[in-house]
């Protein structure tokens, strides 16, 4: 499928970028497709997240044709209040870390704990701004911040668009793998999309 949203250039590294755009269609039925671009429009990540699946598992690809798998994101439980998602480098099999949703605490404001590969808490992702109001008026734009070791390593700001959901992600250089930071951002936006679709 040809789309104006996609432009692939292979000589750009995630580690050299500080700003990204994440885009998805406003409405989705069977799957939610997220595309991560550099700020000049080069596709870096693609996620097709299934809507109806008992145990969540999806692959993050580096291209539109889905021939370059980068990460595997898989929930550790089938049913739980505080779901934990493990993020693995597909090429090496290395676990980069995990993201655990704070179920009851996320009723008013989404919050995820960020865990290292050994399961130790190292940070969190937090919805910011008028989160309660957005539960009733989904058209209001959202904001999320990602903290590791007490320092903010990324900020996600929604840009209002009529037919797409678009988010600007600013990443601060840190010791955390940029792929893992973007996976944390995607999981926060997937949780938001799930809530809006329901």
Q: What is the pLDDT of residue 9?
A: 43
Confidence of residue 79 (pLDDT cuts 50, 70, 90): very low
Q: What is the pLDDT of residue 50?
A: 76
Rounded to an integer, the average pLDDT of 190-196 is: 81
Rounded to an integer, the average pLDDT of 150-169 is: 93
Confidence of residue 11 (pLDDT cuts 50, 70, 90): low
Q: What is the pLDDT of residue 192?
A: 85
Rounded to an integer, the average pLDDT of 121-142 is: 84
pLDDT, averaged across the chain: 84
Indicate the domain borders of the chain. 14-197
Q: What is the pLDDT of residue 23?
A: 95
* Long-range contact pairs involving 120-123 (C-beta distance under 8 Å, separation at least 24): 122/97, 122/148, 122/149, 123/147, 123/148, 123/149, 123/150, 123/153
Q: What is the pLDDT of residue 1?
A: 42
**CA gap 181, 59 in Å, rounded:** 16
Percent of the residues in the chain that have a pLDDT greater than 70, as a whole number? 82
Q: What is the pLDDT of residue 104?
A: 56
**Residue showing tokens 């989904």:** 138
Percent of the residues in the chain that have a pLDDT greater than 90, as a whole number? 52
Q: What is the pLDDT of residue 7?
A: 40
Q: What is the pLDDT of residue 105?
A: 60
Residues listed for the chain: 198
**What is the CATH class of 14-197?**
alpha beta
| 104-118 pLDDT, tens digit each | 565 678 899 999 999
Read off the tokens for 45. 């990540």
Query: pTM (2 decimals)?
Result: 0.84
């Amino acid at each position: 499928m040809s789309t104006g949203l996609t432009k692939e250039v292979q000589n750009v590294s995630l580690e050299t970028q500080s700003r990204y755009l994440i885009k998805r269609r406003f409405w989705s039925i069977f799957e939610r497709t997220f595309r991560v671009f550099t700020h000049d429009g080069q596709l870096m990540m693609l996620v097709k997240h299934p809507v109806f699946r008992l145990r969540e598992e999806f692959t993050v690809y580096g291209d539109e044709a889905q021939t370059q798998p980068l990460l595997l994101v898989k929930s550790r439980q089938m049913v739980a209040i505080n779901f934990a998602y493990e993020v693995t480098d597909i090429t090496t099999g290395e676990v980069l870390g995990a993201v655990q949703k704070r179920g009851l605490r996320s009723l008013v404001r989404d919050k995820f704990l960020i865990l290292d590969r050994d399961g130790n808490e190292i940070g969190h992702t937090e919805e910011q701004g008028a989160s309660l109001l957005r539960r009733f008026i989904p058209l209001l734009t959202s904001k999320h911040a990602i903290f590791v070791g007490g320092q903010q390593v990324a900020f996600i700001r929604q840009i209002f668009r009529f037919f797409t959901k678009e988010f600007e992600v600013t990443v601060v250089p840190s010791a955390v793998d940029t792929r893992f930071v973007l996976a944390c951002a995607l999981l926060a936006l997937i949780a938001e999309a799930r809530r809006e679709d329901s």
